[in-house]
């Protein structure tokens, strides 16, 4: 058993989309949105912490492509969001 599996306390959930195969970004957006709604409506989840979304970009045939900034052409491997109004209680609005 991996160390990560031993440390789970029941508060971590993995959602996989492998069975969808190669889909468009809009289709993935819809799938993620529906799963977020299910987390709220069916499981009662209200707050999240340390969420990561791993993107494996491909072309329409499923071949890997590098993720690059359109403005500079620079390869991007990590993107930190700067959501300016977090809903968590750690911040005062």
Model pLDDT, residue 11: 86
Find out whether 77 and 37 touch, Cβ atoms under 8 Å.
Answer: no
Nearest-angstrom CA–CA distance, 22 and 15? 16
Instruction: Summarize pLDDT for 44-68 with one digit per residue, the tens.
Output: 999 988 888 999 999 999 999 999 9
Cα within 13 Å of Cα(85), Cβ side: 1
Instruction: Summarize pLDDT for 19-45 with one digit per residue, the tens.
Output: 999 999 999 999 999 999 999 999 999
Greater confidence, 18 or 2? Answer: 18
């Amino acid at each position: 058993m991996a160390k990560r599996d031993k440390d789970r306390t029941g508060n971590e959930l993995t959602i996989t989309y492998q069975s969808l195969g190669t889909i468009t970004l809009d289709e993935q957006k819809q799938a993620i949105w529906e799963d977020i709604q299910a987390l709220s409506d069916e499981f009662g989840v209200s707050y999240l912490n340390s969420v990561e979304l791993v993107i494996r970009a491909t072309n329409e045939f499923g071949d890997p492509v590098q993720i690059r900034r359109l403005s500079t052409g620079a390869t991007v491997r990590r993107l930190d969001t700067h959501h300016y109004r977090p809903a968590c209680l750690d911040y005062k609005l």
